[in-house]
């Protein structure tokens, strides 16, 4: 039996692992004005930082840049090593983290954006770049919140139909004699409208507060006619900013053991204990300072702040970490010894002729 081809079929090349994409608004963002990619871009960095920088540089915009995603796709280093490398890349001027304020569907949230530059930049360049990104984000937010009205389309006259005949002009009629001016018609007299009173089913708050007095204090029981008479006085209390509880407490506190005329007693208290008008204090005008929508973020601990307050992408505690207590004690002893030696040397110089 003849066999035409004894070699097995060539295997298809394995597809490269897709880059993990970050959520909308997160992920990598390339900085502008970068040098073209070359073989020796990160040769001045240590081996670990050079390897991770080369991997990050080849990631597309929008790829996940968090420590867990990078450590999952870089088999040589774990999360601690990747975090330390990102910090070193931020100090070298290749990386900056920033928090951006995003408003969607009436909700406000802060998203973390990672800006990457193949070319190392200094702190001044990153500060100017983040300020420009903040202005651009503010303009985009203002454009989305301002409603855009659709352009008005002028109404066009309907086109004449094909085959339609033009309208025939009406025959001229002889001019009629001018009509005599008619006497002006009498203007009907409209009766004066009365202010509608509240319906019985929907009494006012003042009426309800007066009606509840009899249930709270039996000596101040008022009839429906009494409540209607005293309602304007109670309404003045509500107009001055008090509520029903305040009014009830003012009318029922400290009443005598016997009240001969409840309506007279309540009328007297409504007139004597009416609260004063409180002046409306104007709210001091605050300067119209625009809210910053983009805040730089510390690469190590994630503390937000102004780009000028985060040199090398690190906050002050992360930029100058505390020394080891043993090292601090040794440093203090050396400093004390140096001071003693310097004082002894100065004393010896004074003793010389």
DSSP string, 52-65: HHHHHHTSPTTB--
| CA neighbor of 27 nearest in space, from 116, 110, 93, 104 | 116
Integer angstrom CA distances of residue 152 from 148, 149, 155, 156:
12, 9, 9, 12
Distances (CA, A) of 323 to 148, 329, 333: 58, 10, 15
Q: What is the mean pLDDT of residues 338-345?
A: 74
Rounded-to-integer distance, Cα 309 and Cα 257, Å: 72
Domain covering 28-144: architecture: Orthogonal Bundle (1.10)
Q: Which of 141-155, 260-274, 305-319 has the lowest mean pLDDT?
A: 141-155
Identify whether the C-beta of residue 253 lies closer than 8 Å to the C-beta of residue 219: no
| pLDDT > 60? residue 267 | yes
Question: Residue ranges per domain, the chain?
Answer: 28-144, 205-272, 325-353
DSSP string, 317-344: HHHSPPPPHHHHHHHHHHHHHHHHHHHH
Q: Kindly state the DSSP code that residue 296 receives in the 8-state scheme.
A: E
pLDDT tens track for 150-177: 455 454 545 555 454 555 555 554 444 4
Task: Give the best-scoring range by mean pLDDT among 80-89, 175-184, 188-197.
Answer: 80-89
């Amino acid at each position: 039996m003849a066999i035409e081809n004894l070699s097995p079929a060539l295997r298809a090349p394995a597809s490269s692992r897709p880059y993990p994409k970050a959520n909308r608004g997160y992920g990598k963002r390339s900085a502008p004005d970068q040098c073209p990619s070359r073989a020796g871009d990160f040769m001045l960095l240590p081996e670990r930082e050079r390897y991770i920088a080369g991997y990050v540089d080849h990631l597309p915009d929008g790829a996940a840049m968090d420590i867990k995603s990078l450590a999952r796709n870089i088999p040589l280093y774990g999360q601690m090593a990747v975090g330390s490398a990102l910090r070193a890349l931020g100090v070298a001027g290749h990386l900056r983290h920033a928090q951006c304020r995003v408003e969607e569907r009436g909700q406000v949230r802060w998203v973390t954006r990672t800006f990457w530059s193949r070319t190392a930049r200094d702190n001044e360049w990153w500060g100017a770049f983040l300020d420009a990104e903040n202005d651009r984000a503010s303009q985009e937010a203002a454009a989305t919140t301002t409603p855009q009205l659709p352009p008005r389309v002028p109404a066009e006259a309907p086109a004449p139909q094909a085959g339609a005949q033009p309208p025939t002009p009406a025959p001229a009629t002889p001019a009629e004699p001018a009509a005599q001016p008619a006497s002006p018609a009498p203007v009907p007299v409209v009766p004066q409208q009365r202010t509608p009173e509240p319906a019985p089913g929907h009494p006012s708050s003042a009426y309800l507060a007066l009606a509840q007095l009899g249930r709270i204090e039996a000596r101040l029981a008022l009839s429906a006619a009494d409540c209607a008479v005293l309602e304007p006085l109670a309404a003045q209390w509500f107009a001055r900013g008090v509520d029903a509880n305040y009014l009830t407490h003012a009318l029922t506190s400290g009443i005598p053991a016997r009240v001969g005329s409840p309506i007279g007693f309540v009328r007297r208290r409504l007139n004597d204990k009416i609260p004063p008008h409180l002046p409306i204090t104007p709210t001091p005008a605050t300067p119209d300072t625009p809210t910053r929508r983009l805040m730089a973020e510390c690469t190590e601990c994630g503390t937000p702040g102004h780009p000028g307050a985060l040199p090398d992408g690190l906050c002050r505690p992360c930029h100058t970490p505390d020394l080891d207590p043993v090292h601090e004690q040794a440093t203090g002893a050396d400093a004390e010894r140096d001071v003693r030696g310097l004082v002894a040397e100065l004393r010896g110089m004074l003793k010389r002729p």
